[in-house]
Amino acid sequence: MKSLASITNPFRSAIVSDPWHWDVVDVPEIHKEAFDLCRSSLDYVRNEHQSTSVLIYGEAGSGKTHLLARLQAYLAGHLTIYGQAPAAVFVSVRLQTSPQMIWRHLRNKLGEDLLRPTADGRSQLERILLPRIAAVCPDIGEPGSWLERVQREARNSSAASAATDEMEDVLDRLDQQTRLDDRDLMVVIGHLLLGRFRRDARAWLRGDSLPENSLRQLGLNADQDYEAEERARRMVLSLTRLTGPDIPLVICFDQVEALQSHQSDLAGLYKYGQMIGFLRDETSNTLLISCILSTFLSTLKQAIISSDLDRLALAGERNLASLTPGEAKRLVEARLNSSAEMREVRPAGLDRFWPLKEADIDEALRLRKNTPRLLLSYCAEKFDLAWRPDSLNETLPVEDFLNQNIEERLEQSAATASAEQADQILTHGLPILLRLSKPAWESRVIERFRDADMVFESPRGRITIILCNHRNMTSLAGRLRRLRDQIGEEVLEDSTREKLILLRDARLPIGTHARKTREHREQLLARGFQWVNASSEMIAALDALRGLISDTKAGDLSCNGESISISSVQEWLMANLDRKLSPLRELLDEILPENSGFNDDDFEICDDLNELLHNHHLVSVTDAAFRLGCDEARIESLARLHPERFGLLNGPPAVLFQLTLQAPDSADKPGMAIQEVR
């Protein structure tokens, strides 16, 4: 038999951070009214064919995300105590985004969760499409068997054409019934159902920019860059219609607080209210659930106009109240009972709270440890105090916790912050970074350049940032051409007062084939624009920063059970920005100072070198210089200046190598990703 000293503390890991990760320890009585409101609202949407909305608020640690996770588990059929769950699509949206990209963010999360696999292995998208296809085309028989057959035939070269024709016929009949009038969406759905071009089809559904050859392979039209937000809004509407009147779409919005870059910034919340109002009025099968901190309620009411505010809680609102004594005791008991190790060592006939006492729980409530997070943290300390007193020395001071937390975030962002996410990270993170480190620079309304993404002003002048993270060179060339037309013959000469920045993720080189893109870029550089390559380290650090700030604002960042205040985190960041997030200092230096110290033609050399390494992977400096018509010393100097873009092995002979190689179909073929170790 184990001793208690060797048993995992059952009260640790109390925070549910993702609604998709269901915590099997659940006490249905806790926040039952809020959960019942969500269920009854879902029934209303299904029965009345009319969208509605719910507002949930509570203290930090009160269990908002746990409530959403309970709803997700219920819809997935994991909670049998409520009976058979109705068919529905569950979507979770953390609002870590900017006002100008809020619809693109929603499209991304909607596409991501539609593609998420369910318990039977099928995606949510397949689960909603197959019943609709069966209703429109009863001659296909059982829809799951039909899909498996056409997928097999699509993989057989001799039968692939017939399978494709059959799928197109079925989807055409579905399109006529749903009246989507969205050819590209139906084409992508066909690819996804047949299992063809899966990586690009999934990327398109999420709203990622695709290069021209990928669009041609998919058979899709090129997107107009300047309509990106409007296209995302239309796509969200199309996807809600695709689910049909009998399968509601449950969209849960969390971390609404993250829409503010600072306390007086209300633009994102205003846009959020508009989006909620639009979805309520323009859809008929959507349940919209918003979760906020109780203390944020007044800010939300200040930012959102009254008509949209009414649409935020049409079905009602619920406050996640403090735990009652009965609820608190049931939660502690459930935690203890969930541990197989505890059941093994618990002597028969002892108190149900053993090794704690009922008086411990009463004491916790007297000390106002009356949210699930605070109560479980208190019980964790009591558990350790009784059986592992030495472990109390492991309690982290807040500063040490933040040091550890930011390291974990940096590691995670380095692995997950892709070039496809760069626009979201930059538009959300840069206002936060500037407000933190250079508060004199404030966001301003975009007026002069229609294609600008961000404008900041201070007594020193103005910074205009245009993001250029397109994989599609036709779209990027169009954006640069419009900028050139808007600036006309004007030449920006005083870069100390105004900076016009073209910013692109360094992982996205502009190849030699993109002649028009390069031509338009050179014309803009000649008129005073500056080209900034944001390294992957900069993007990852900015992603880590915005995640830390967002979690703090939403009350999701805690140390020893206590929420950490935003002022404490900001003070720590100010003291540790250069030490912990040095790439952000480099990013600020690129954006704020008068000169970057980088020659204009160096950008083309770097892009050419990137393209060369993409094709050949390993090239000597001598060979690269010959191929690009440059001096060897210059090639080697640029490689050393940009270690985030180029690998360099000292010679003789000096050799350049590509840092990351990605096989064309690696997303569809496990084991095809090749990582170069530096």
Q: Using CA atoms, how far apart are residues 582 and 644, in angstroms rounded to an integer?
A: 14
Q: Taking a C-beta distance cutoff of 8 angstroms, is the pair 287, 240 a contact?
A: no
Is the per-residue pLDDT at 676 higher than 60? no
What integer pLDDT is reported at residue 225 of this predicted model? 64
Other residues' Cβ atoms within 10 Å of the Cβ of residue 362: 13
pLDDT in tens, 107-145: 999 999 999 998 888 999 999 999 999 999 999 999 999
Higher pLDDT, 482 or 447: 482
Is the per-residue pLDDT at 662 higher than 50? no
Is the per-residue pLDDT at 392 higher than 60? no
When pLDDT is averaged across residues 385-411 and rounded to a whole number, the result is 83
Is the per-residue pLDDT at 614 higher than 90? no
When pLDDT is averaged across residues 618-641 and rounded to a whole number, the result is 86
Q: Among 165-179, 326-340, 559-573, 657-671, which stretch is predicted with the lowest mean pLDDT?
A: 657-671
Q: Among 159-163, 313-317, 603-607, which stretch is predicted with the lowest mean pLDDT?
A: 603-607
Is the per-residue pLDDT at 596 higher than 50? no
When pLDDT is averaged across residues 410-416 and rounded to a whole number, the result is 96
Tell me what percent of the residues of the chain surpass a pLDDT of 70: 92
Is the per-residue pLDDT at 349 higher than 90? no
Q: Among 246-260, 265-279, 588-602, which stretch is predicted with the lowest mean pLDDT?
A: 588-602
Q: Taking a C-beta distance cutoff of 8 angstroms, is the pair 567, 508 a contact?
A: no
Higher pLDDT, 678 or 594: 594
Is the per-residue pLDDT at 5 higher than 60? yes
Buried b (16+ CB within 10 A) or exposed e, 505-526: bbbbbbbeebeebbebbbebbe
Q: Using CA atoms, how far apart are residues 488 and 524, in angstroms rounded to an integer?
A: 10
Which of 395-399, 565-569, 648-652 has the largest mean confidence?
565-569
Is the per-residue pLDDT at 201 higher than 60? yes
Higher pLDDT, 481 or 156: 481
Which of 111-115, 344-348, 574-578, 621-625 has the largest mean confidence?
111-115
Other residues' Cβ atoms within 10 Å of the Cβ of residue 354: 15
Q: Taking a C-beta distance cutoff of 8 angstroms, is the pair 595, 547 a contact?
A: no
Q: Using CA atoms, how far apart are residues 636 and 650, in angstroms rounded to an integer?
A: 10
Q: Is the dihedral of CA 337, 343, 349, 353 positive or negative?
A: negative
Distances (CA, A) of 181 to 174, 219, 362: 11, 16, 61
When pLDDT is averaged across residues 142-157 and rounded to a whole number, the result is 91
Which of 89-103, 170-184, 235-249 has the largest mean confidence?
89-103
- Cα–Cα–Cα angle for 110, 112, 118, rounded to 5 degrees: 105
Of the candidates 628, 629, 631, which has an alpha carbon nearest to the alpha carbon of residue 616? 628
Higher pLDDT, 492 or 302: 302
Average pLDDT over the chain reads 88
pLDDT in tens, 232-252: 999 999 999 998 888 999 999
What integer pLDDT is reported at residue 672 of this predicted model? 33
Q: Taking a C-beta distance cutoff of 8 angstroms, is the pair 560, 396 a contact?
A: yes
pLDDT in tens, 287-337: 999 999 999 999 999 999 999 999 999 999 999 999 999 999 999 999 988
Is the per-residue pLDDT at 424 higher than 90? yes
When pLDDT is averaged across residues 261-267 and rounded to a whole number, the result is 91
What integer pLDDT is reported at residue 233 of this predicted model? 96
What integer pLDDT is reported at residue 597 of this predicted model? 47
What integer pLDDT is reported at residue 168 of this predicted model? 93
Q: Residue 488: which pLDDT band, with cuts at 50, 70 and 90? A: confident
Q: Among 6-20, 212-226, 273-287, which stretch is predicted with the lowest mean pLDDT?
A: 6-20
pLDDT in tens, 19-67: 998 877 889 999 999 999 999 999 999 999 999 999 999 999 999 999 9
What integer pLDDT is reported at residue 477 of this predicted model? 95
Tell me what percent of the residues of the chain surpass a pLDDT of 90: 64
What integer pLDDT is reported at residue 671 of this predicted model? 36
Is the per-residue pLDDT at 674 higher than 50? no
Give the chain's domains with CATH numbers.
Answer: 32-119+247-322 (3.40.50.300), 147-154+165-220 (no CATH), 323-416 (no CATH), 417-591 (no CATH), 600-675 (1.10.10.10)
